[in-house]
Amino acid sequence: MNKRLITSILLLATVVSARAQQQEGKKNIEKLCGCFDVDFRYAETFAPDTTYKFHDREHSHATAELALPIAVSNNKIIIQHLLVINDTMIVKHWREDWEYQANDILVYQGNKQWTKQAIPAEETKGKWTQTVWEVDDAPRYQGTSSWITANGKTYWENTTNAPLPRREYSTRNDYQILKRGNRIALNAAGYLHEQDNDKIIKEGNAEKLLVQEKGLNAYVKLPDSKCAAAKAWWDKNGAFWTVIRTQWDAVVKAQSAINLKNKVESKRLDEYFGSLQKQWNAKTITLDEAGKQAKTVIEKFVGADKDVAVK
């Protein structure tokens, strides 16, 4: 067998292996979709300061949560989470995007600031990047890692900086960064999102550990019928939120950094979008008008360049 043939065979084997790895990761991510019973538990575990007063443990439960795949391709899957409360009340929850071999990542610096950093090709090869977005589709955090199957277990894990979680940012300000140790492990019932978090005090360029925290978020599959109301809600409102997502995508793509204001003219971002959604539902504005107004609002919150446009 000549060297050229051997090289061709090895190259083909590498391509086939990479494609299989990509498809396996995609199948794992698709298992994160569906209707789930969700249980959230958090407990602070260790503080270097012996005088630190630990916060109470937290436990919350959702009647059902729909993780709905709203855009799927070989290299990207977008999953919108929708909370079902008391079987009929629907709340737009967080969103997660999964991208294969992403080129860059937003790194959280604290104080609602993110910087965009390129990921070297050798570091992202064969890996999936998870991006988590707020309920108003603003950035939250990103992490890159491989899906691993070993010893009968399948999981994805990553450590990355994030803002304070929604359960805490309105009640405390004694730390600035949540260094999230995320581990998503598939199981027969659904999946477990396990967290080993560090709550970090940041003063200038100096960082100090305030306290560590353990989180266990259990997602247990339910019949799709339990989330039928959420699916109906998205069928009615999905077009509006697709426009919002598109506007955000354009801004994030154009900016090298995101500096997000908490409020503009005493209103939060989700309040502006909520008002726009009501107007669109009432048919007092078109989808195109909603998109243009959303673009203007986002620019005010992030100070985006005025030439940012959606094509």
| Amino acid identity, position 127 | K
Q: What's the confidence (pLDDT) of residue 11?
A: 45
Query: Count of CB atoms within 10 A of residue 212's CB?
Result: 17
| 233 confidence band (pLDDT: 50, 70, 90) | very high
Sequential DSSP letters for 230-259: HHHHHHHHHHHHHHHHHHHHHHHHH-SEEE
Set out the domains of the chain in order of their start, with CATH numbers: 16-224 (2.40.128)
| 4 confidence band (pLDDT: 50, 70, 90) | low
User: Do residues 239 and 72 touch, judged by C-beta distance below 8 A?
Assistant: no
Q: What's the confidence (pLDDT) of residue 304?
A: 54
Q: What's the confidence (pLDDT) of residue 3?
A: 65
pLDDT in tens, 38-93: 999 999 999 999 999 999 999 999 889 999 999 999 999 999 999 998 877 999 99
What is the spatial distance between Cα 118 and Cα 189, in angstroms, rounded to a whole number? 37
Q: Is the pLDDT of residue 19 over 90?
A: no
Backbone torsions φ then ψ of 89, nearest 5 degrees: -80, 125
Residue 173: both structure tokens together: 């300000």
Report how far apart, in Å, the C-alpha atoms of 153 and of each of 46, 133, 183, 208 are. Answer: 28, 27, 12, 34
